[in-house]
Amino acid sequence: MTGITPAQQKVFSFVREYINRHGYSPSYEEVRRSLGFKSLNSVYKHLKQLERRGYLKSPWDNGKRVLEIVSLAAGSAAIPFLGEVAAGTPIEAVETSESIEVPENFLGNGNNFALRVRGDSMIDDGIRDGDILIITRQPQAENGQTVVALVRGEATVKKFYLRGSEIELKPANSQMKPIFADAAEVEIVGVVMGLLRSYRTQKH
Amino acid sequence: MTGITPAQQKVFSFVREYINRHGYSPSYEEVRRSLGFKSLNSVYKHLKQLERRGYLKSPWDNGKRVLEIVSLAAGSAAIPFLGEVAAGTPIEAVETSESIEVPENFLGNGNNFALRVRGDSMIDDGIRDGDILIITRQPQAENGQTVVALVRGEATVKKFYLRGSEIELKPANSQMKPIFADAAEVEIVGVVMGLLRSYRTQKH
DNA sequence: ACTTGACTTTCACCATTTGTTCACCTTAAA
DNA sequence: TTTAAGGTGAACAAATGGTGAAAGTCAAGT
């Protein structure tokens, strides 16, 4: 993926979210208002730039609300490999941030990273020790999605359920108990979009 | 990839980290401040050097914040997507010969293909309905490896064990019984090297 | 066909940020 | 001693980020 500046990233995320939520792109005016620009031209120029850099495209000229998120580069893309998650261990375990090549259709919204799973807390969902998770960074999740969350500073992979004002983080392992926590204590880091497993070195 | 000096290493790591964390490259000024240079030119020269040596690239001249890490693994390849396997069904030679992009380190001997799994016969090994298996075509397997095999014309995914002159094909599902067959009746198609799962469309 | 409303695109112009280059200096290795 | 890596500092050029107004497009509706 080509470079992007902070300002462009802001516009891009907004458009991306908007399309996800509504199914069609926002009008320039909506972007302007939401992001606090005073001129439509600012919006226009950012969108043009994003188009030039390959993040967006508009299928026909002058089309209304027809922006599309470009499926990230045919083939695959490299995303940062941030380390490991295991129940009860902070993510920031691995300093040596490498990157890993993943197929395009495993990527989510454009801000992705990978983590290796430690432990068996999700084994009933077929997520095993050593598997690599592809995660899209986003601060909210839908019920039932598998998420990476920080609970009081500790990172885990669990299934997410909103129960009234509480959040349940549910392991997929009959041996383990779910975590219940106040919404304020839980920070959703991202949602699991894909899983890679290599049998290369393993011997079952 | 050519060698790299300690100073260059330092700059490179910083840029890599920054991009991983922010999603966009740092400005020269940020690099200068963070690494304690007094002149921007020091930064410039290091970055140019890294570009020349193939560690970084900037897609267009004079572009702002557009540095990219050159992917070290350079690696993925397209392999044919052959269809589906489910216990008791021949491999559906999918007409629509598609292909799927997979990371290089998931490939085996050079003759690979992909299959989508149907059914739960391997669920205890974390192989679930809908998962995509990367398979290396080879006619023999080692005990305990997960294989795609043809038994009397029917294709299955099972774990392979040689028991004297017989072959045991063992599902990873306590509900299912292993298949015992004479070695002559079993044709090993290939060995499972990798697994890809996408949570994109699934709703748990 | 003409008008309207909802949008997108362009023009002209300005401030700021950021990348590039020039000239010149130091130190360690071949 | 010539060469390459590391550095300093200042000047320059280009891309980005923004403002405001005007002009252009397109799909309805009358």
**B23-32 residue pLDDT tens:** 788 999 999 9
A73 pLDDT higher than 70: no
Whether domain A6-69 has CATH 3.90.1580.10: no
**A102-142 residue pLDDT tens:** 776 677 666 778 888 888 889 999 999 888 888 887 777 88
State the Cα–Cα distance between residues B154 and B137, nearest whole angstrom.
17
Best B125, B127, B196, B201 member to test A by mutation, with max A CBs in 10 Å, is B196
Find how far residue A16's CA is from the centre of its chain.
Answer: 12
DSSP E strands in B72-199: the ranges are 76-86, 98-103, 112-118, 132-137, 146-151, 154-163, 166-170, 179-182, 186-198
pLDDT at A70: 63
pLDDT at A45: 93
Residues 6+ apart with CB under 8 A from A201: none
- CA neighbor of A189 nearest in space, from A133, A141, A152: A141
Domain boundaries defined on chain A: 6-69, 76-196
List of A residues 75-104 with CB within 7 A of strand D: none
A158 at interface of B, judged by CB pairs closer than 8 A: no
Residues of B in contact with A6 (CB under 8 A): 22, 24, 65
Q: Which residue type occupies B195?
A: L
Q: Which two tokens stand for residue B41?
A: 């030119």
**B132-156 residue pLDDT tens:** 888 888 888 899 999 988 888 778 8
A147 pLDDT higher than 70: yes
**Rg of chain A (C-alpha set):** 19
Catalytically annotated residue among A25, A158, A159, A170 = A158
**B103-119 residue pLDDT tens:** 666 776 667 788 888 88
**A27-65 residue pLDDT tens:** 889 999 999 999 999 999 999 888 888 888 877 776 667
Q: Across all residues in chain B, what is the average pLDDT? A: 80
The CATH code of the domain at B76-196 is: 2.10.109.10
